Structure formats: C-alpha cells, structure tokens
Structure 1
C-alpha cells in the first residue's frame, strides 16, 4: 500500500530547491535611502578631516619658510630681499632655496643670465617645490608655464608696484635699482621695533582672479594707457622664481585690502548687433583705475581654508588670521615699526 508523504516533508526534501524570497521594491528603496544618509553623514566628516590635515601641513610649510628666513638672517645679518635688482637679480623665494634643502637648485640658478632659468624643456623656475604650495590649493602652476607659490612675504601697508611701496613691512626691493629709493637694503631684526610677535612675516594668497584677468581679453585700445608696469595674468605674479623687473615684487602681500579680497567686475564685450546694424564698439576702460585695482588685488591675503588664512609672524610662530580681521588691525600687523597697538584676537 502506497503512502503519501506529508507536504511539509516533501518541501524539506534535499532533492528539492528551497524557496527563496527576494527583496521587494520598497525594501530596496529603504536600503538605498539608508546608504544615502550614511554617505551624507560621512562626507562632511571626511571633508573636515581633509581640511584639518591641510591646515596642519600648511602650518608646517609656513614654519619651515619662516625658519629658512631666520637662517638666512643668521648668515647675512639681514632678511632676504623681496626682489633683488641690479646686476644680480633675484627674489625672496629664490634666496630661501638653500635654507629649505634646495641647495642644488640654488647652485644651478643662473643669476648672470636670468633668462636661462625659464628656458628649456625642464626650466629651473618650473620646479614644483612642495613647501611653497598650501595643500588646500591643488593648483601648482596657476595657468603659468612656471611653478608658483601660494605664499607671499609681508610687504607692508603698500607693496606693489615698488615705486609706490611704503617699505614698512618685512620685505621690499633692494639693490641699485630698488624703488621707491635706490640702494635699499634688507630688513634687520633690530628694525622690527613693533616686536616680532606683532609683525607678520609670511601669509597665504589665492592664485589667480578670473574677474580681473577677464580685462586681458579687451581689444587693443579699449584700456586707456596708464603709468606703471604693464598688467599681466594675475597668476604670473605668484611664480616663486619671479622674472626680473618691476613685476618681481608682485609676490609680496600688503594691507591695502581686506583678507579674501576679490575683484568685483568682469569685462564683457558688447552683445552682437542685430541684423543690418553695425557692431557696437566696446566701452572704454580707465587704465589708471584698472591698474589701481590690479595692484591692490595682487597683495591680498587669501586662502582656501574656511574662515581665514594661515600666517607666520616674524618670531617664527604660525597663527590663523580670520577673514573678519579689520583693515586697521591688518595694517598694524603689517608694519614693523608703526608703533600700533594690536588688540588681542
């Protein structure tokens, strides 16, 4: 007599595939939503960690640069020039090379024929130097064919062009062709009567300004001629191996504008004419006013850190200077012998 196995036994038989239950659409959407929330929670944390790491490395870079300037002073009894003029043209960050473990590059630097430093397939001025670049700025060349630095020396109240410099900071032009006076020399420690802890030494800058550079696209004749050095792409002033000439001091920072200053207007050509009408001429640009804006922008402190910039003081310490720092305080910190009273931050 044949017996019939219960249904439960047959379903549990090893010869039969077990039933599998798939995710429903709602369950899948819930899982996706949970993953999205977790990613949303993790991203800010990752960004904060990266920002903190960038500030730490930037602090280290500024400490090394400040120490290099002090070691230069120990050897030469003066701090390096902001830009050296005359028969041996040089610049601040070139002079610091032997003191940041870049002696071979410094020994190869051609002071007699400076053009050789910018020529060839691997120009000396194209060497990217890690401690000259803040890790918060991924830019290494800034649109220029040569390597740049995101740091600048304190040029005082006004730094550029040299003819209008106040020469009250830590760096300025020196040598036979220096401005505003010939034969200026570098700053000595004894010259810092305001106190080294109350005087800026180095700071950060943001390379490039698209709004300002847009004026380079204006046709010839639109910008009226103005005295002073010719304007160039803003990133070209940030080369650590600055080209000899008046623009070599473009790497110095100043207190002319507030921290984080950017140019506010953009040059745009006139709209295309309607059919049958002649094209409208571009409106003229006041070259004097444009150059004044250009020069102030070049000296602006700025960074990609949230809320301010990293700065080194003349005593070698590194501190964070907030965007909210007033112009009065910035001027006081930028002068070495102005006798200003700096309020506590």
Structure 2
C-alpha cells in the first residue's frame, strides 16, 4: 500500500525577513502621510480659531464702533487688560466678563494678571487661544498663555538695548496698526482707519513657536517676564501686561498680546526681521529692555496664519519680504502690496 504525505511548508527565515522589510517600507511610506494629514487638521483648526477671533473683533466693532485696544498702563508697571479680555463677550465668555471690575482701569491698576482684583482672569481658561501645533507650553504658573498676537503696527528699529528718549515721531509708529495701545482713549480706532483697505491690513497673527537669534539661541515670546525693563509679570498670558509709556530708558516695554513689525534695518547689528526669526542682532534676554517687536512665529511648516482686518485668514510664507510685512502691519502707509 502506498501512502502519500502532504507536508506543510512553513516560512523560511529569509521569507520572514522579507515580509518584515516590506511592512517596514510601507510604514515608512505611510507615516509621513499620516503626519501631514494630522498637521493639515491642526492647521485647519488654527485657521478656524483665528477666523473666530476675527469675527469677535468685527462684532466688538459693530457694538462699540471702534476696535478693542491692548494693555495700557503708566510707567509704574501697573497692568491693564489685553484686547482678548475685551473680546470675552464675543467668544462665549460673557459671564466671566460681567464679573470684572473696571474701576481701576484709568489709573492702570486693573490687575489683569494677578490674584485679588479680577481674580477670575487668573483661573479662566478660554478655548481657541492656543494653536494645536504649538510646541510652547499652554500654561505658565497657572496662567493660560496664548498663541496669537494682535498687530500693533510698525516699529522703528533700535539697537537692541534700552530705549532712551522716545520722541513723538517714533512713538506714533506704534499706533499705526489695528490693535494698539491708547486706541480706546482720546484717539479710538475704527475700521475706517484702515485706509489701505481691510484686506491689506493684518489684525491678528501667530506667535506660537520658538524663534532663534543670530547666535542660534532659542527664544520664546511666551514667557511670563515681559521684554520690558520693568519685568512685569504675565507677559505672554492671554489677559495682558502693562504697556509702559514713559520716555526714560527701559520704561517703554513690550505690550504682550501685541507686536509690531520692524521698519529700519540700519543699525550695526545684523538684521534678520521677518517670520520665524529674531528682529534684532541678539535676541533679548528675559526681562531685558529691548525694542517692542517680537517676530511672528508658527509651527505650521513654511509660514504663519494671519487674520486680516476684513476677517479673512491668510497663510503668509516665511520667505516673504520684510517690507511686505511692514506694509501689511501698517493700516495707512498707502503702499501697494504685491502678491504674497
């Protein structure tokens, strides 16, 4: 009697290694696509958040017939609220807004970033102020930080040290944007002030990533110590920090939640203004007195998202000429802006 044997043949080691290699190649091909899809989704979310902020700005303007203005205070370092605080009723935070005590506003003692008066702002967490792609911390000492900054206009470039004897001409440059200090006082700003056209003027943009100075030292705009000599706490927090409006050295500090775009690269330190780069030769140390400008930064590859004054959201390439940024930041310089 003859028996036939049907022996089962298994994987050889070589075949197993080939299968593993094929799977590895497929993963290597698919992983970047998955990461790109995730980043695309994060960018869409960031874009939508900026659009909502732009809509809130328009609703504020329709209600009060002027633009919300940013933190403003005396040279003593007392704080007042950022423009984000003024937008609270228009971003579904009306209940928190109604709890605020505005009695100390005119003398710069609103205290938007400290416990006690208006303590509600310390613990309040506002959705839509943090870019999902940002590598920066979302909280600092229990203060919520923001990935977005108002565009205050253009800034004369200084030498990266203390600012001394700011004359009225230079000071006026800080007020030619759409989100400015003192805009709600004697000189309120409205949409009509954007004589260059609302589609040609930036309103809010990203400051959501690290940037590097010329020495390749990593810096971050989201730090609690402001870039002003006073070192007022809360710089980078969404609720604001003092804008110190003195003419003595170091007292003209950065108003966090708003930035300006540099104008004049004529100083001896190398000029690297633009997107994702420092605006002065050596980036400021935390708490050091420097110019007002900090760069627009983003973790989205290739540029930053910006909401224009007409409410539209645009992606601006990091290779854009700095003069184009200057023109977009200035609401009334009369320049024709090329394609960007």
Residue 230 (structure 1) shift: 3.2
Match of 1:291 among 289, 292, 297: 289
Aligned partner of 1:67 in structure 2 is 55
Instruction: Determine if contact 1:83/1:249 at 8 Å carries over to the other structure.
Output: yes
Residue 22 (structure 1) shift: 3.1
Structure 2 vs 1, CA of residues 127 and 159 (structure 1 numbering), >3 Å: closer, same or farther? farther
Residue 130 (structure 1) shift: 2.4
Structure 2 vs 1, CA of residues 36 and 261 (structure 1 numbering), >3 Å: closer, same or farther? same
Aligned partner of 2:42 in structure 1 is 54
Residue 69 (structure 1) shift: 0.7
Instruction: Determine if contact 1:212/1:263 at 8 Å carries over to the other structure.
Output: no
Aligned partner of 1:204 in structure 2 is 206
Runs of 5+ in structure 1 lacking a partner?
13-18, 215-226, 268-285
Aligned counterparts of 1:308 and 1:83: Cα–Cα separation in 2: 27
Instruction: Determine if contact 1:254/1:301 at 8 Å carries over to the other structure.
Output: no
State the secondary structure of the residue aligned to 2:24: helix
State the secondary structure of the residue aligned to 1:70: helix
Residue 186 (structure 1) shift: 3.3
Instruction: Determine if contact 1:82/1:172 at 8 Å carries over to the other structure.
Output: yes
Residue 155 (structure 1) shift: 0.8
Aligned counterparts of 1:137 and 1:57: Cα–Cα separation in 2: 12
Aligned partner of 1:193 in structure 2 is 195
Structure 2 length as normaliser, TM-score?
A: 0.73
Residue 150 (structure 1) shift: 0.5
State the secondary structure of the residue aligned to 2:153: coil
Runs of 5+ in structure 2 lacking a partner?
104-108, 158-162, 221-226, 245-252, 263-272
Structure 2 vs 1, CA of residues 129 and 140 (structure 1 numbering), >3 Å: closer, same or farther? farther
Aligned partner of 1:172 in structure 2 is 180
Match of 1:105 among 82, 96, 103: 96
Aligned partner of 1:330 in structure 2 is 325
Structure 1 residue runs of 4 or more that deviate by more than 4 Å after TM superposition: 112-117, 207-210, 263-267
Aligned partner of 1:239 in structure 2 is 237
Structure 2 vs 1, CA of residues 33 and 153 (structure 1 numbering), >3 Å: closer, same or farther? same
Aligned partner of 2:126 in structure 1 is 129
Residue 168 (structure 1) shift: 0.8
Write 1 or 2 for the structure with the bigger share of helix.
1
State the secondary structure of the residue aligned to 1:237: coil
Aligned counterparts of 1:265 and 1:328: Cα–Cα separation in 2: 18
Structure 2 vs 1, CA of residues 141 and 111 (structure 1 numbering), >3 Å: closer, same or farther? farther
Aligned partner of 2:269 in structure 1 is none
Aligned partner of 1:259 in structure 2 is 275
1:76 matched to 2:64? The reply is yes
Bigger mean CA deviation after superposition, 196-205 or 87-96: 87-96
Give CA-to-partner distance per residue, 1:58-96, whole Å, 9 cap, x none: 111111101101111111111001224479932111111
Residue 28 (structure 1) shift: 1.3
Aligned partner of 1:311 in structure 2 is 306
Instruction: Determine if contact 1:136/1:304 at 8 Å carries over to the other structure.
Output: yes
- Size of the aligned set, in residue pairs, is 288
Aligned counterparts of 2:332 and 2:279: Cα–Cα separation in 1: 30
Aligned counterparts of 1:26 and 1:110: Cα–Cα separation in 2: 75
State the secondary structure of the residue aligned to 2:133: coil
Residue 151 (structure 1) shift: 0.7
Structure 1 length as normaliser, TM-score?
A: 0.72
Structure 2 vs 1, CA of residues 266 and 116 (structure 1 numbering), >3 Å: closer, same or farther? closer
Aligned counterparts of 1:131 and 1:316: Cα–Cα separation in 2: 16
Residue 254 (structure 1) shift: 1.8
1:146 matched to 2:147? The reply is no
Instruction: Determine if contact 2:79/2:112 at 8 Å carries over to the other structure.
Output: no
RMSD between aligned alpha carbons? 3.4
Instruction: Determine if contact 1:159/1:172 at 8 Å carries over to the other structure.
Output: no
